Structure 1
Amino acid sequence: MFAAARSPRCRSPRWWPSLAWTIELHPEAARQLRLLAKRDRPMAKRVTDYLATLSTCEDPRDRGQGLSGPLAGLWRYRVGDWRIVADIHDERLVIVALDIDHRSRVYRD
């Protein structure tokens, strides 16, 4: 017979307007993104495109990984060698990008 169709992880806001997440950038993340755009514009575009895709996900936790230790409660998203550390606010459907940095530096104090 017919195989069950898998629903996509991320859907267009046209299909699920009530589930569209808002992306907010913490001032530090915005600064890092501006610096990245000066150094490596294609990578900065990949990061912003990823954030746009993330905003259409039903559950952004499906695409990231929860952090542990002092960063417990935050989520990590990988874009090449760059990482986005974010806090997810379910009650407001908001993802706050707290830090955007290279993987070698992002978890340091």
Structure 2
Amino acid sequence: MTWRVEFTRQAEKDIERLSTKDQRRILEFLHQRVSEHPNPKALAKRLTATKQEAWRFRVGDYRIIAQFEDSRFVVLVVEVGNRREVYR
């Protein structure tokens, strides 16, 4: 079963601000590794300091904050940013 990757408006803006090299790297990770994995939660770590159930993926110095909609097999990317700034 493949998972569909969707982006919030904020995540789209975050990705647009990155260099094309970093954009390509992040999008390839999401579409090749995460969407094709039978259980993408195995690739992520759960964030404990949030009220909502959020997970993070690590791609180099960047972090992808996402939520899973298990019933629809959707990974919703909420935020993308450098590890120094994304958790603030």
Larger RCO, structure (CA 8 Å, separation 6 or more): 2
Q: Would you say 1:51 and 2:33 are equivalent positions? A: no
Matched length: 87
Q: How far apart in 1 are the matches of 2:86 and 2:75?
A: 18
Match of 1:98 among 37, 54, 78: 78
Q: CA RMSD for the aligned pairs?
A: 1.0
Q: Which has the higher strand share?
A: 2
- TM-score norm. by structure 1 comes to 0.77
What are the within-5 Å matches in structure 2 for residues 20-31 of structure 1? 20-31=2-13
Amino acid at match of 1:49: E
What are the within-5 Å matches in structure 2 for residues 11-50 of structure 1? 19-36=1-18, 40-50=19-29
Q: Is the 8 A contact 1:66 1:72 kept in 2?
A: no
Larger radius of gyration: 1
Shift in CA distance, 42/71, structure 1 to aligned 2, threshold 3 Å: farther
Amino acid at match of 2:39: D
Amino acid at match of 1:107: Y
5+ residue gaps, structure 1, are 1-18
* Identical-pair percentage: 29
Amino acid at match of 2:27: T
- TM-score norm. by structure 2 comes to 0.94
5+ residue gaps, structure 2, are none
Structure 1 ranges of 4+ moved more than 6 A? none
